Amino acid sequence: MNPESLARPLRLLHVCLHLLVTVLLAVAAGRALTGQGPPRVAVLAAAVTLAVAYAAGAALPLVRRSRRAAAAWLAALTIGWLVLLVLTPDGVWFAFPLFLIELFLLPARVGTIAVAATTVAAIIGVAGHHGTLTAGAVIGPGLGAAVSVGTVLGYQALYRESERRQRLIEQLTATRAELAAAEHAAGVLAERERLAREIHDTLAQGLSSIQLLLRAAQRALPERQEVAAGHVEQARRTAQENLVEARRFVRALTPPGLDGGSLPAALRRLCAVTADRSGLAVRLHLDGTAVPLPTGHEVALLRIAQSALANTVRHAGASRADVTLRYGDFGVVLDVVDDGTGFDVENTGGPGGEAGFGLAAMRARAEELGGTLAVGSVPGQGTELVVSFASPGAGGSAVGT
């Protein structure tokens, strides 16, 4: 239940209060007119004055906005009621709506004290008119006061609880919105990282190969036109393959090398293409029985192998490279070794000082799927890159197994 739903019963209570005041004052005035004795005119005047004062206060917005105006209005009603109570015992009936007004306008503690004082005044007034203190004179005002206090204070407690719950709901909604925004931002960042890795492992490497091939063609011209034409044809095929790769990774599809084939077959084609384009002796070694891996793992292993061989071609100055894929109970391990110039792993981001992003992207690929990646290199003694994924239940990394 929210505060808006509690406001409707409150408006209904105000309407009932207006009707109750009207009826009670009308009854008091009517009984005075039909009764005997000189106070008839005074009772009628007091009832009309009290009705006018009540209507004026209920209609003025200032009473609802200003505590001072509300206190003045309550004081006027109290004085008018006391005058009416002195003139006729029927004035005691107005005590019940006065209880409600006091509880609504005053703080809870002050309002309860005011109700108690009004109850005492009502009992004294009735007892004075009857000349004796009867049980009815005490029970009537006392019961009316108890009902008024219980109703108003209960409503106020319910309203406060409703407001507290509404604030909690608003906080929860805001928290959910913040969480959704954070998840969206994380998703955007993850997609950016995925595209950055794919671009580095496909387009960037392909463009680098095209550049090397076109340079080789340029050097072959004009004497060796057939050789130059072969390099240009290789560059064209590389560009075509990169276009296919770009379309597939934008759609988050598997690489063409794995589409309908196994990981060893894809690695064998990668080694052959790399050797054909670069002149580097690249060999694939398969150890153990190949088993199907989750698509994400196969994609990661193929992309890491692509990036590692591209770094070897561009930066290592190597004459050969060996790619080893090992299967076993421990999981799967991919090992890429070259006999190039190597580099200082502790002080540089990668061979040639340009592969820092490539190594970071390869490591991120492996760790994203629960694998590990390690790089070992010594200047002048080549480089070894090892990436591993443990099989379910293996209980740890497969590196070095």
Q: What is the pLDDT of residues 259-273, one digit of tens each?
A: 657 889 989 988 998
Tokens of residue 233, six digits:
């044809």
Tokens of residue 98, six digits:
């006065």
pLDDT at 387: 94
Q: Once rounded to an integer, what is the mean pLDDT over residues 118-141? A: 87
User: Is the confidence at residue 323, as pLDDT, over 90?
Assistant: yes
Handedness of CA 19, 21, 27, 33 (dihedral sign): negative
The distance of Cα 153 from the centroid of its chain, to the nearest Å, equals 37
pLDDT at 393: 53
pLDDT at 10: 64
pLDDT at 177: 84
User: Is the confidence at residue 2, as pLDDT, over 80?
Assistant: no
Q: What share of the chain is helix, strand, coil (3-state, %, to 5)?
A: 70, 10, 20
Q: How far apart are CA 80 and CA 83, in angstroms?
A: 5
pLDDT tens digits, one per residue of 39-65: 788 888 888 898 898 888 888 888 878
User: Is the confidence at residue 4, as pLDDT, over 50?
Assistant: yes
> In percent, how much of the chain has pLDDT > 70?
85
Contacts of 304 (CB under 8 A, 6+ apart): 201, 334, 336, 362, 365, 366, 373, 385, 387
pLDDT tier at 354 (50, 70, 90 boundaries)? very low
Which residue do the tokens 């000349």 mark? 131
Triad 361, 311, 307: Cα angle to 5°: 45
Q: Once rounded to an integer, what is the mean pLDDT over residues 282-308? A: 89
**DSSP label at residue 237:** H
β-strand pairing of 331-338 with 281-287: unpaired
Mean pLDDT, all residues of the chain: 81
Q: Once rounded to an integer, what is the mean pLDDT over residues 118-135? A: 88
User: Is the confidence at residue 145, as pLDDT, over 90?
Assistant: no
